[in-house]
Copies of this chain bind each other. A is one copy, B any other.
Amino acid sequence: MSAQLERLIQALQLQPGVGPRAATRIAYYLLDQRREEAKQLGQVLCEAMDKIKLCQCCRNYSDEERCEICKNPKRFESGQLCVVESPSDVAAIEQSNHYFGRYFVLHGHLSPIDGVGAAELGLQQLDQIFATGTIKELILATNPTIEGDATATFIANLAAKYKIPEVTKIASGVPLGGAVDTIDPKTLISSLMNRRPLSASGSVV
């Protein structure tokens, strides 16, 4: 087989979910039918990896020093700050279209065994944001895992110094549309312990 083709099939497997068979299929498809577009994909890849940086304000991916969200003054009005583990969490929350405050992206969670501490998560920068005294509500939206919860607790302690009026954590429980009898026991326990009064109209108070 052509050495270039072999190299291409190998390189394509860098992508998660793309194994040797899929990579081979992709390589032949691109060569057979989409050479020009594939070259463009190559250029876009190089450019994106070179140019996408972290917003100096929230550490989300951004083309400029400050991301679109941090450039928008309306995002600062509510005084809400939502802390998430990864940029894809920001994208998910933005898509839900129910939160209009600002964000802070940790790019991971505390994990001493992997050498991820406060510095790697930009917690000093977060501390500086707390110090401005502009945050009225700190929303911790880390993943409901052992590491995510530990990270949320650590940040809540950090926030305690600055007397932030409200520190909340997003709810975990049975996902909407899910079935109680198929959910794992730990989620079910959390869901029971965090039960909330239900009004006569059927809405949760």
Contacts and interface: CB of A to CB of B under 8 A. Distances in A.
Interface of A: 1-5, 7-8, 11-12, 14-18, 22, 24-32, 34-52, 61-63, 67-68, 86-88, 91, 94, 107
**SS class of chain A's interface: helix, strand, loop or mixed?**
helix
B32 A12 contact: no
Copies in the complex: 2
A61 B31 contact: yes
20 contacts: A1-B94, A2-B61, A2-B63, A2-B67, A5-B52, A5-B61, A7-B44, A11-B44, A17-B25, A17-B26, A27-B48, A28-B87, A30-B45, A31-B49, A31-B61, A31-B87, A32-B86, A36-B49, A42-B46, A42-B49
B4 A52 contact: yes
